[in-house]
Structure 1
Amino acid sequence: MWRFLTDRSGNFGILLAILLVPVIGAAGLALDYSNAISIKAKIQGAADAAALAAVAESSAGVKQAFAMSGDGEVSVGANDAVTFFKAQFESDTDFKLDQIFAKVVKKDGRLYSVLDYQATVATTLSRILGKDLIRVAGQAIVEYQTEVYRDFFLLLDNTPSMGVGATPVDVAKMVANTPDDCAFACHIVKNGVEDMGSYYNLAKALGVTTRINVVAQAAAALMDTAKDSRKSSNQYRMGVYTFGEKAEDTKLLEVVAPTADLSKAKSKAAKIELMSIPKQGYDNDQQTDFDRAFTQIADKMGAAGTGLTASSPEKVLFFVSDGVGDSYKPASCTKKLTGGRCQEPIDTQYCDLLKSKGYRIAVLYTTYLPLPTNNWYNKWIAPFQNEIPERMKACASPGLFFEVSPSEGISEAMTTLFKKIVNTPLLTG
C-alpha cells in the first residue's frame, strides 16, 4: 500500500484531467467575453444611430418639438428611436434584447435624445463553469440645437442723401438732366402736397434708380430669405424702421413693428420712400441724425435675450446706410462745424453702447460715392471720405460688416449678412 501511495508515475495524466475543466472554462470565458464585447459594440452603434435618427433634421420628433410652445417630452421622437433601434436587429440571433428605454426631451432650446438598452448574449464554452449568459448594457445620448430665436430690427437710412443715384450711370443721368447738375433726387412735399416737379419725381420719369429704391427692394427680398431659413413660424421676427417720414418731424419711423408675419413685413418694406423735405436746403439739411436714431431704436428693441426660447430672443440691429451723418450737434461733433451743423462719419460710441447691452449689430455700408462735380461734397465730405467705411466697420459686431458699392447687389449683400448671423453658433455658456 505504501508503494502505491508514493508512486508518482502517471500523475501528469491525472492532473491534466483535473485541470482541463478550469482551463477550458477560462478560455471559454475569454472567448465569450470577447464575443460579448463585439456584440455590445454593434448594439451601441445601433443605439447611437437610433438616438440620432430621433432628432434628425427631417424627423417627426423635431417637427413636434418645433411646434411646442415650451419645454417637455417629445413622445414621437422616443417612439421613433425605439422603432429604429429594433429594426436594425430583426433577424439577429446573436443576442436577446431585454430592455429598451428611449426618451426625447426639449429643454432650453435644445433636444436631448437618450436611449438605454440591456441585452443578454448566450455563451458557449463558459457553460462548463455554469455561466450561460453574459449581460451587456449601454446608453446613447444625442444633443441637438433647435432653432435660435431672433428679433431683427432693420434700421434703414432714408434721409435725403439716400436719394442719390444708385449707380454711376444713374448719377450721371441725374446730373445731365438737372439745371444745377444735381445728383440727388430731392423729395419735395410741402404742406402734405407732393411737388410733381421735384427731382424725386424727375428721377422716376427718367427711370433713375436711387439708393433708397435699392435698399427698399433688398429689405423686402430679405423677408423671403428669412422665411425660407426659419425652422418654425415664430423663429424670426422682423421690424423695419427708417429715420423718419418727413424732415419737419425727424424721428424714428416704425414702418412695421416686429412681427413673425414676414409677408406683411415684405409688403411694407417694399414701399419705403425717401424722407421728404418742404424745400431744398430745409433746416440746413440736418436730417441724418445717427445718434438719435440709435438711441430711439434701443427703446424699440427691448432687452436682449438668450435666443433659446421664443420669449427670450436674441436682438439684432441690421443697419443699412451710406455712413455720413448730418445733424445739429454743436457740442460733440467729430469734424468741423458750420454753425451747429455737424457732418461726420458715424459716431461709434452709440454703436458701442448697444453692443454693451448684448445687442448684435450687422452693418451694410452702401459706399458713399464721390461727387466731384458737387461743391458741397468737395468741401465737407471729401476730407473724411476714407474714414467713412472704417467707422461703419467699427460700429458692427465682429464679422458682421459688409460693404457694397451701389453698382453691386445690395440685396445679395443683405442676404449674405443675414445668413452669417443665423449660421453663427449660439454661445450659451
Structure 2
Amino acid sequence: MRRFLADRSGNFGILLALLLVPVIGAAGLALDYSNALSVKTKIQGAADAAALAAVAESSPGVKQAFAMSDDGEVSIGVADAITFFKAQLESDPDFTLDEIAAKVVKKDGRLYSIVDYRATVKTTLSRILGKDLISVVGQAIVEYQTEIYRDFFLLLDNTPSMGVGATPKDVAKMVANTPDNCAFACHIVKNGVEDKNSYYNLAKKLGVTTRINVVAQAAAALMDTAKDSRKNSNQYRMAVYSFGEKAEDTKLLEVVSPTTNLGKAKSAAAKVELMSIPKQGYDNDQQTDFDRALTQVAEKMGTAGTGMTASSPEKILFFVSDGVGDSYKPANCTKKLTGGRCQEPIDVQYCNLLKSKGYRIAVLYTTYLPLPTNDWYKSWIRPFQNEIPQRMKACASPDLFFEVSPSEGISDAMTTLFKKIVNTPLLTG
C-alpha cells in the first residue's frame, strides 16, 4: 500500500484530463462571445435603420407629429419601426429574437425614435461549461429635430464664363449671331455706362438664356421653398453673394446679408447679374478666383453652430458654379500656367478647409458645356473637362452634390439639395 501511494507515474495524463475541460470551455467562451458580438452588430444595424425609418422624411410618423399641437407619443411611427426592423432580420438562423419594442415621442420640438431589442444566440463549445445561450441586448435612438436652425450662404458664380448660353440651343444661337462666333454674352460696361453693342444685350434681344440668368432665377425660387419648409419665421436665414459686380474690382459682393426676411432675399437673388468687364479680354480674363471667394465667404459665415437654437445655427454654404477657375495664381496652380494665369478645375483644398471648420457645403454644378468652335476652350479647358465634375463633387459635403445642365432644371436641383439638408435626421445613440 505504501508503494502504491508513493507512485507518481501517470500524473501528467491525469492533470491533462482534468485541465482539458476548462481549457476547451474558455476557448469556447471566447469563440461564442465573439460570435455574439458579431450578431449584436448585425442586429444593432437593423435597429438603427428601423429607428431612422420611423422618422424619415415624409414618413407617416413624421406627418402625424407635425400635425400634433402638443407633445406626446406618435403611435403610427411605432408600427413602422417594428415592421422595418423585422423585415431586415426575417428568418436569420444566427439568433432568436426574444423581444422588440419601439417608441416614437414628440417632445420640445423634437422627435425621438427608440428601438429596444433582446435576442439569444446559441453557443457551441461553451456548452461544456453549461452555458447554452448568450443574451444580446441593445437600443437605437434617433433624434429628429423639427426646428433645426440654419444659416444658408448662397455663393453664386457670376463671372464672365457664366455668360455662356444655358443650353446647346442658346450656345448655337449666340455663335450664329456674332461676327466672331462667340458663345459668351460678354457684359461690357465702360465708365459706368452699358455698351449697347455688348453681347450681353444681344443675348437679351435674341431671347438667349445664359447660365447666370438661370442660376439667379433658381436662387430666387429657393427662397419660396425655404419659406414653405420652415416651422417658424426665424428658423432659416438666407444670404446671397456673388464674385463681384465688375472685373475692375473683383471681390466677394454681398447681394444680401443674412436675413430671415426671405422675401427680401428672393428679390435680391433674382437681380444677380453677370459680372461686367470694360472690354473683351480685360485683365487676361482672370476673374474667376474660387480660392479668394471661398476664403472671403468664410469670413462672412462666422462660427458653425449646433442648430439647436437660433443663436447657434448650422452654417451651410450653397455653392453654384460651372467649376472652372480662371485667376492670377502663379504658384500652386493644379494645371499648366500661361504666365501667371491659372485655368483649372476648382482647387478643393479651400473646400476642405471650410468643412474642417464644421461648415457643410452643398454644391450645384452647372455642367460646363463643350464649346467645339471656341479655340480657347479646345486648348485650355477641354484637356481637363472630365475632371471638373469630379473636383466639384469632392468640394461638397457627403451626399450634397448635384450636377445638372440648365435644360434639366437648376431650380429643381437646388430645391432637392435644400430638402436633403433640412430633412436629415440625427442618429444620437
Is TM > 0.5 for Structure 1 vs Structure 2?
A: yes
What is the distance in 2 between the residues matched to 1:426 and 1:104? 15
Give the corresponding residue for 2:275. Answer: 275
1:59 to 53, 68, 73: 68
Greater RCO (Cα-Cα under 8 Å, separation 6 or more): 2
Sequence identity percentage: 85
Give the corresponding residue for 2:372. Answer: 372
SS at match of 2:67: coil
SS at match of 1:407: helix
SS at match of 1:269: helix
SS at match of 1:56: helix
Give the corresponding residue for 1:209. Answer: 209
Q: Contact 2:143–2:427 (CA<8 Å) still a contact in 1?
A: no
Give the corresponding residue for 2:264. Answer: 264
Over 3 Å counting, the alpha-carbon distance change for 1:230 and 1:172 in structure 2 is same
Gap regions ≥5 residues in structure 1: 1-51, 62-76, 82-102, 113-141
Residue 380 of structure 1 and its aligned partner are, at CA, apart by 0.4
SS at match of 2:358: coil
What is the distance in 1 between the residues matched to 2:143 and 2:360? 26
Give the corresponding residue for 2:44. Answer: none
Over 3 Å counting, the alpha-carbon distance change for 1:104 and 1:408 in structure 2 is closer
Give the corresponding residue for 2:401. Answer: 401
Q: Return the letter of the residue paired with 1:387.
A: E
What is the distance in 2 between the residues matched to 1:351 and 1:179? 40
What is the distance in 2 between the residues matched to 1:344 and 1:193? 32
SS at match of 2:234: coil
Over 3 Å counting, the alpha-carbon distance change for 1:404 and 1:105 in structure 2 is closer
Residue 417 of structure 1 and its aligned partner are, at CA, apart by 0.7
Superposition pairs of residues 190-205 of structure 1, within 5 angstroms: 190-205=190-205
SS at match of 2:66: coil
Residue 59 of structure 1 and its aligned partner are, at CA, apart by 2.8
What is the distance in 2 between the residues matched to 1:268 and 1:104? 37
Q: Return the letter of the residue paired with 1:157.
A: D
Q: Contact 2:144–2:425 (CA<8 Å) still a contact in 1?
A: no
What is the distance in 2 between the residues matched to 1:399 and 1:57? 26
What is the distance in 2 between the residues matched to 1:252 and 1:268? 15
Q: Contact 1:326–1:342 (CA<8 Å) still a contact in 2?
A: yes
What is the distance in 2 between the residues matched to 1:330 and 1:345? 15
Over 3 Å counting, the alpha-carbon distance change for 1:111 and 1:379 in structure 2 is closer
SS at match of 1:334: coil
Give the corresponding residue for 1:306. Answer: 306
RMSD: 2.4
Over 3 Å counting, the alpha-carbon distance change for 1:198 and 1:233 in structure 2 is same
Superposition pairs of residues 127-206 of structure 1, within 5 angstroms: 145-206=145-206
1:112-169 Cα deviation digits (max 9, x unpaired): 8xxxxxxxxxxxxxxxxxxxxxxxxxxxxx9863311111000000000000000000
What is the distance in 2 between the residues matched to 1:346 and 1:425? 31
What is the distance in 1 between the residues matched to 2:361 and 2:176? 38
Q: Return the letter of the residue paired with 1:168.
A: P
Q: Contact 2:145–2:425 (CA<8 Å) still a contact in 1?
A: no
Q: Contact 2:144–2:426 (CA<8 Å) still a contact in 1?
A: no
Q: Contact 1:247–1:275 (CA<8 Å) still a contact in 2?
A: yes
1:163-185 Cα deviation digits (max 9, x unpaired): 00000000000000000000000
Q: Contact 1:248–1:277 (CA<8 Å) still a contact in 2?
A: yes
Give the corresponding residue for 2:36. Answer: none
SS at match of 1:278: coil
1:165-220 Cα deviation digits (max 9, x unpaired): 00000000000000000000000011111111100000000000000000000000
Bigger Rg, structure 1 or 2 = 1
What is the distance in 2 between the residues matched to 1:216 and 1:104? 38
Give the corresponding residue for 2:425. Answer: 425
Superposition pairs of residues 318-333 of structure 1, within 5 angstroms: 318-333=318-333
Dislocated runs of 4+, deviation >3 Å: 103-106, 109-112, 426-429
Superposition pairs of residues 291-302 of structure 1, within 5 angstroms: 291-302=291-302
Residue 425 of structure 1 and its aligned partner are, at CA, apart by 1.6
Q: Return the letter of the residue paired with 1:234.
A: N
1:367-400 Cα deviation digits (max 9, x unpaired): 0000010000000000000000000000000100
What is the distance in 2 between the residues matched to 1:270 and 1:104? 38
Q: Contact 1:148–1:426 (CA<8 Å) still a contact in 2?
A: no
SS at match of 2:406: coil
What is the distance in 1 between the residues matched to 2:238 and 2:381? 33
Give the corresponding residue for 2:23. Answer: none
Q: Contact 2:154–2:238 (CA<8 Å) still a contact in 1?
A: yes
Residue 405 of structure 1 and its aligned partner are, at CA, apart by 1.4
SS at match of 1:60: coil
What is the distance in 2 between the residues matched to 1:372 and 1:311? 51
